Amino acid sequence: MSDILWIRRDLRIHDNPALVSAIENGVSIAVFISTPQKWHQHHLAPIKADFIFRHLKQLEAELADLGITLLHLKATDFDDQAKQLTELYQQLGSQVVFANSEPEVDEQARDQQLISSGINLQISDCDVMLPLGSVLNQQGEMFKVFTPFKNAWLKEVQAKGIQCSPAALTSKNNAKALLPDNLQTLQLASDYDFDFPRVDSSRWPLSQDVLGNVIPNFLANKVNDYAHLRDIPSVKGTSGLSPYLAIGAVSPRWLAIQLIQQQPDLLFDTQLPAFSWLNELIWRDFYKHLMFHHPKLVKGANFQQKYNGLDWYKDHPSFKAWCEGKTGYPLVDAAMRQLVETGWMHNRLRMVVASFLTKHLLIDWRWGERFFMEHLIDGDFSANNGGWQWASSTGCDAQPYFRIFNPITQSEKFDPKGIFIRKYIPELKNIPDKHVHFPHGYIAKNGINSEYWQPIVEHKEARLRALAFFK
């Protein structure tokens, strides 16, 4: 007989409360149940699928060191996933399944289905710094503006700190798990592909290296420069940790504790340079708490219902040009090429391209949200949804509809020498810095035979059209 540790979106052994509970109860079996059909429905990026697979292999070895055998079952959707977990529960004679929470609507329904069927499912919380539902306004409701949420978050942490699971784990298992014969073949195989397409993610190191080298180096040498480097796409000014947070390979609570232990004044002085990075972690919490309180977001709903009547343009040719990086606006095009080629996009550029799609082209933010999820290695529903609704002015604490990024001035400000642009648009390699941000006039005036495409929309006209559209 063995109870079960159910690995979900928590591919780590540090700060993993479900794992701690499992070890305390002598669990020797863990299971990961892939759901390729559901992943397709949720638009999982192939590069993220590969990233998950690589971290599962790492986790398999780490759990083995703790005396826990990791099984890999393959289901189609959540109903099948629940069925297979139930069968395993019965085969092993289990009394408890330990797992960490997945707060989205379908995931919650699956968990309730299991509990209703008699599975003793013990859920812990580990994907946010403060527990979901614990940061509320004076009326006991979720904040609708980020800054008051941040201030309440800071007061809570000042008073109570951030609770993290024990760092050192010691196995209570003295023998390798004894599996029923029919389960022996379900252990992870090196060539297992989830029945889901995968794209090489090896340019992103495994979390073991990130925890041991990348994060200590960032906190020691880079975090104080984050505020003024984070918006420059041609330099590596961000932490690059979002892919690890998205799959649970790195704990946000652990990250925050490391930073605060190093710079405790951050909780009381938001003007310190490193607070800019902590602020991004708090934004992440904000969107996850928002999703917890407003599950309709998972169903593609506008947070601000007054925008439900917007008649978004169904302009497939313009959407295709945006997806392929052929809008005629170099910063937008370079950003989209970065996304498609690498599976990642710089955060400043995510705002620029989202604003361009929803304000210049008046195309539904949901189209962009889906395209991002289909390509991003760090695709995370709450952050992606929050970012897209922020840019489109339909979301919680979103930018006002009349704030419309000018992609030319954004380029001049954040990529003044065109370094990032030329990296992804070699067609503009010989265009002078002054003109690289919108080269069409220079190309025409000098009779240059350029392969760069014409703009699909004129900025001033698009801005006026957007203002009228939202009014």
What average pLDDT does the segment 178-193 reach? 55
DSSP 191: T
Tell me what the pLDDT averaged over the chain comes to.
94
Same domain, 406 and 452: yes
Same domain, 122 and 139: no
- Please say whether the beta carbons of 183 and 91 come within 8 A: yes
Report whether 283 belongs to an annotated binding site.
Answer: yes
CATH of the domain at 117: 3.40.50.620
Q: Out of 312, 406, 412, 427, which one is annotated catalytic? A: 312
- pLDDT band for position 332 (50/70/90)? very high
Report whether 380 belongs to an annotated binding site.
Answer: yes
Q: Out of 347, 406, 412, 453, which one is annotated catalytic? A: 347
What average pLDDT does the segment 44-62 reach? 96
Q: Is 347 a catalytic residue?
A: yes
Same domain, 117 and 143: no
Q: Is 388 a catalytic residue?
A: yes
Report whether 63 belongs to an annotated binding site.
Answer: no
Report whether 311 belongs to an annotated binding site.
Answer: no
Report whether 277 belongs to an annotated binding site.
Answer: yes
Report whether 248 belongs to an annotated binding site.
Answer: no
Same domain, 157 and 77: no
CATH of the domain at 397: 1.10.579.10
Same domain, 150 and 122: no
- Residue 184, in any domain of the structure: no
- Please say whether the beta carbons of 458 and 450 come within 8 A: no
pLDDT of 70 over the 70 cut: yes
pLDDT of 189 over the 50 cut: no
The pLDDT tens digits for 108-126 are: 999 999 999 999 999 999 9
Best CA proximity match to 368, nearest among 379, 37, 107, 243: 379
Q: Quick one: pLDDT at residue 149? A: 98
Structure tokens at 448: 């240059």
In whole angstroms, give the CA distance from residue 331 to residue 232.
12
Same domain, 342 and 439: yes
Report whether 281 belongs to an annotated binding site.
Answer: yes
- Residue 34 is inside which H or E element, if any? strand 29-34
Q: Quick one: pLDDT at residue 182? A: 59
The pLDDT tens digits for 215-239 are: 999 999 999 999 999 999 999 999 9
- Indicate the residue among 237, 259, 293 that finishes a domain: 293
Domain range for 327: 306-470
CA angle 256, 335, 221 (to 5 degrees): 35
Same domain, 75 and 151: no
Q: Quick one: pLDDT at residue 192? A: 58
- Residue 67, in any domain of the structure: yes
In whole angstroms, give the CA distance from residue 241 to residue 83.
34
Report whether 190 belongs to an annotated binding site.
Answer: no
CATH of the domain at 266: 1.25.40.80
Same domain, 328 and 411: yes
- Indicate the residue among 127, 151, 181 that finishes a domain: 127
Q: Is 430 a catalytic residue?
A: no
Q: Out of 102, 107, 280, 412, which one is annotated catalytic? A: 280
Same domain, 228 and 314: no
- Indicate the residue among 261, 293, 325 that finishes a domain: 293
Same domain, 133 and 29: no
- Residue 394, in any domain of the structure: yes
Report whether 282 belongs to an annotated binding site.
Answer: yes
Q: Out of 6, 204, 254, 365, which one is annotated catalytic? A: 365
Report whether 286 belongs to an annotated binding site.
Answer: yes
Q: Out of 6, 367, 388, 390, which one is annotated catalytic? A: 388
Report whether 285 belongs to an annotated binding site.
Answer: yes
- Residue 74 is inside which H or E element, if any? strand 69-74
- Residue 191, in any domain of the structure: no
The pLDDT tens digits for 84-106 are: 999 999 999 999 999 999 999 99
**Residue whose entry in the numeric block shows the structure tokens 């008073």:** 159
Residues β-bridged to residue 33: 73
Tally of structural domains, the chain: 3
Q: Quick one: pLDDT at residue 190? A: 44
Q: Out of 39, 283, 322, 367, which one is annotated catalytic? A: 283
- Please say whether the beta carbons of 200 and 47 come within 8 A: yes
What amino acid occupies position 381?
F
pLDDT of 62 over the 70 cut: yes
Q: Is 283 a catalytic residue?
A: yes
- Residue 299, in any domain of the structure: no
Structure tokens at 223: 């975090």
- Residue 298, in any domain of the structure: no
Q: Is 367 a catalytic residue?
A: no
- pLDDT band for position 186 (50/70/90)? low
Q: Quick one: pLDDT at residue 188? A: 47
Report whether 239 belongs to an annotated binding site.
Answer: yes
Q: Quick one: pLDDT at residue 193? A: 65
Q: What number of CA atoms fall less than 13 Å from residue 19's CA on the CB side?
A: 30
Range list of H helices, 92-165 = 105-116, 146-160
- Residue 24, in any domain of the structure: yes
Report whether 226 belongs to an annotated binding site.
Answer: yes
- Residue 105, in any domain of the structure: yes
What average pLDDT does the segment 332-357 reach? 98
Q: Quick one: pLDDT at residue 17? A: 97
Same domain, 157 and 239: yes
In whole angstroms, give the CA distance from residue 170 to residue 436.
58
Report whether 378 belongs to an annotated binding site.
Answer: yes
The fraction of the chain above a pLDDT of 70, given in percent, is 94
In whole angstroms, give the CA distance from residue 201 to residue 211.
18
Same domain, 115 and 137: no
